Every structure is written in C-alpha cells, then in structure tokens.
Amino acid sequence: MDNWSNGCLIMMLFLILLMSFVVDVKGGNLMFNVKHKYGGHEGLSLKDFKEHDNFRHGRMLNAIDFKLGGNGLPTDAALYYTRLAVGTPPKDYHVQVDTGSDILWLNCVGCKGCPTKSNLGIDLMSYETKASATGRSVACDEQFCMLNTPYSDCKAGMPCHFQVSYGDGSKTAGFFVKDNIQFDQVSGDLKTTYMNGSITFGCSSQQSGELGTSNQAVDGILGFGRASSSLLSQLASTGKVKKIFSHCLDGKKGGGIFTVGPVVYPQINHTTPLVPDAPHYNVMMKGIDVGGQALDIPTTMAIIDSGTTLAYLPHVVYNTLMNKLIERQPQLEIRLVEKIFHCFDYTGKIDDGFPVVTFKFADSVSLTVYPHDYLFQVRETQWCIGWQDSGMQTKDGSGRGITLLGDLALTNKLVVYNIEKQTIGWTEYDCSSTIKLNYEESDGSAYAVAAHNISSAHIMDSTMFFTFFLTIISVLFILLKW
C-alpha cells in the first residue's frame, strides 16, 4: 500500500474509534441523563460540599427512567443532575435533581447574577420563551399561580412571580412560564420512547449568593418535592404517571437508577408513613442504634433528601452519636478540618474498626448506615466523619433541630417514594443492576430499567484515552509494515 492509502485507512479508523467514545444513545420510559454535579473533586475543598448542602435545601404512561451519573462521595461528587430537552425546537438544559424542593426552574436570558460558566464540562444554556414555538408566560390569575404563589395585587395578564431562598442566603427569583419538555418513557425491557409533556416552570431572572457564583454551576434545579408545583405532580395531574418515584444511588461505582413509576422488583416489604402536611419527605424517627446499642434520644422528625450530600442531626443527637463512635477508637487524634469536618488518621479497615449506625422509624422500619458510608477518605490514611451538627447547617442556626438524611445514608439502597399511599420505603440493593417497573396494571406488565452512569459518558477518561492511543499506534505500525 502507498502512504496515501495508509493515511486514509488510519484516518477512517481514528474517526470510527472516536465516534465509539462520544456517541450517546438515548432510550426509554421517561428518562433523564443524570450526572453528579461535582463529577471530579479537583480544585474543590471539603467546605464546598458543606456549602452545597446549605443552599439547596386505566392505562398510564407510568414509568420514566432518569439516567444517573456521579456518586455521593463528598471528595468526588456531591449532587446529581440530569439533562432536559425543553421547548420547540428542543434545547438541552442541565438541571440538578432535588427531592427537597418543589419547582423546576431554569436560568433565563438576561438573568442578573446567573452563572455564565461551569467547571463540570457542560455549556451553560439560558432559556428564552420567545425562542420556543410552544413557550409562553404564565399569568398571575391562572390556576397554577393561584394555587402555588397567590398574591393580593394580581391583575389579569400580570406575570406569575416566584422566589426561592436557601439556607446560606442564596436566592433565585423570576416568573413562571409553560413549555413542552421531552421525556423518555419506558416502553419495554431496557427500552424507551419519547413523550412530550407541557410543564410550568420557573424562569430565573435574578440570582444571588452561591447559586450565581459556584464553579460547579448547572442550568437550574428540578424539584421532585410533594407540592402541586413539582414536575411529578404536574405529570400526575394529567394522568401521565402515578405519583411514585424511586432512586438507587450507587455508592460503589457511581451513577445508579432514578425512575418514575411503581417498582415491582425488588419488593419493598416495609414502609414508614410520611408525616401528613409536611413540606418535605418527613418521617418519624423513633431512635438510633450505634453498634447495636440504643442511644438515649427523643423521637423526632427526619427529612429524607437525596439532594443533600451529608447527614445532619440535632445538636444533642449529634453529640451523643459522635461520643459513641469515638468510644470504639479512644486513641484517635481527632482534628477539625476547615472548621467543619472531624478527621483522623487510620490505617485499618474502617468497617471493622467502627460501628454500624441504624436509624429506627415508625412501623418498625430501619435504615442501616455502614462505616464506609459515613466515613469518607480524603487521603490514603486520612478519613473524615460525614455526620454534621444541623445547628451549623444554616448561618442563623435555624436548622438546629433538623434531622436531614442525605446521600450519605441513602446510597446502595433502593428508595421508593409513594406519594399516593403517603409512604416511603427502602431496601439494600445493588444499584449497578436493574429494577422492574409496572407498566400497565391491568395485565401486570413489568419492564426492566438498568442503572446508568453518565458521569463519563461524554468525557474520555485517562484509561480509555491511553487504550485508544495504543490502538492507533499499533494499527499505524501494522499498516506501515504492510
């Protein structure tokens, strides 16, 4: 072969191999590509993860699959986000998936204080109603506004405004709009098809605090809370889905499963009731066992929130738990890192050296958190404790009585939120495997939904690149000899 032919073959092979790395195949019952917000921890301090927690705080088309990415490690990833196709023609927006808030909002064109760049490897987008053939503003006298954000000085045709404040003082404000959003509906085993839904969401015109300055910025937040304003509630009100969703966050490999619809496998044998009329996914916590020994603490309310990275306990409960943990290792030299985290050096196996923590809830439901869940490795021999004093969560100390269980406690478990029955339940599970969702109640059809990890779906990591590079060199050598 001449050099020209060799060069053409090499170029074709290069393009084919490159495409195999960057092509992203979408499918499924309503499905979102979800990725962990922090994707990698380069340049981040431990304080970044705490600050993130501070501010965020008939036949039915009844199954939606959200592709997950990232993980819940405070030193690696700290939030999950997904990609939504919004408008006509559809444009992609990356939004944080948050079970602790109630509305979907996007950064909008002309926003003051909204982020303009992100270190997450994504191009930030701004929504504009005029750029979508199906987009329109929502007036304050429309039913959605009167139910969710009523105010006395509304006049016909005036926009429906919203404002959201977070624990660290960050705020976002703007007005509601309505447009089509493209979902991936589960249509078979490991298969999806597209489905459009008309959704009312916030168009952020102003931001302040951490929301507008974070290097790990996204295009908005997707609230999966209990209120009628949430995306889930809006879809359910039109009969497209049931008000049931679940997540299984893989704390070992990253990614996991996030779906809308009834889960039939694995079975959730025990559930605990949601507290009626509570603003979040609140449950009654009856007690805590540490290494099989019950702590002397009162019954209190706890919030289950996958949008939070760590776990927060009331001051008295926190001190009692920490004292019990340290009893096992009295020789440890505990030091405070960044004025937030209690850290120590340890060379043994943490699951052997520290106790299991078990939370007890109403109706005899328990949630087990292992040492490898609540301890995270900062360096080869340095570990930090993930339990936090909830009194330190907000600047004004208003959260001092809150028990807030985030990803630290929820990873490696399938958690099912059944809002229709007002219950929540979980079971330990391999979150890198598959679950089955009920598709049509009349004939008992169930479809498999697989775990996803899109954290590396668009970025070639060093190992993949090295393998790719060696392949090219090997083929080049063979062709030149030929």
Closest CA to 173 of 152, 197, 149: 149
Strands 161-165 and 33-36, by their bridges, are unpaired
The model's pTM = 0.81
Token pair in block for residue 383: 């570990």
Can you give the pLDDT at residue 59?
A: 32
Can you give the pLDDT at residue 284?
A: 97
Sheet strands (E) in 386-443: 387-389, 403-405, 413-418, 423-428, 434-440
Can you give the pLDDT at residue 60?
A: 39
Can you give the pLDDT at residue 240?
A: 86
Give the chain's largest Cα–Cα span. Answer: 82
Alpha carbon 235 to chain centroid, angstroms: 19
Can you give the pLDDT at residue 47?
A: 64
Can you give the pLDDT at residue 265?
A: 96
Amino acid at site 356: V
Can you give the pLDDT at residue 324?
A: 93
How many Cα neighbours within 13 Å face the side chain of 182? Answer: 18
Can you give the pLDDT at residue 63?
A: 82
Burial 115-154 (b: 16+ CB within 10 A, else e): beebebebebbbbbbeebebbeebbbebebbeebbeeeeb
Q: Is 98 a catalytic residue?
A: yes
> Which of 53, 76, 98, 219 is labelled catalytic?
98
Residue ranges of the chain whose pLDDT lies below 70: 1-62, 66-79, 166-168, 212-215, 392-400, 440-443, 454-482
Q: Is 351 a catalytic residue?
A: no
Closest CA to 203 of 150, 159, 268: 159
> Which of 102, 179, 219, 305 is labelled catalytic?
305
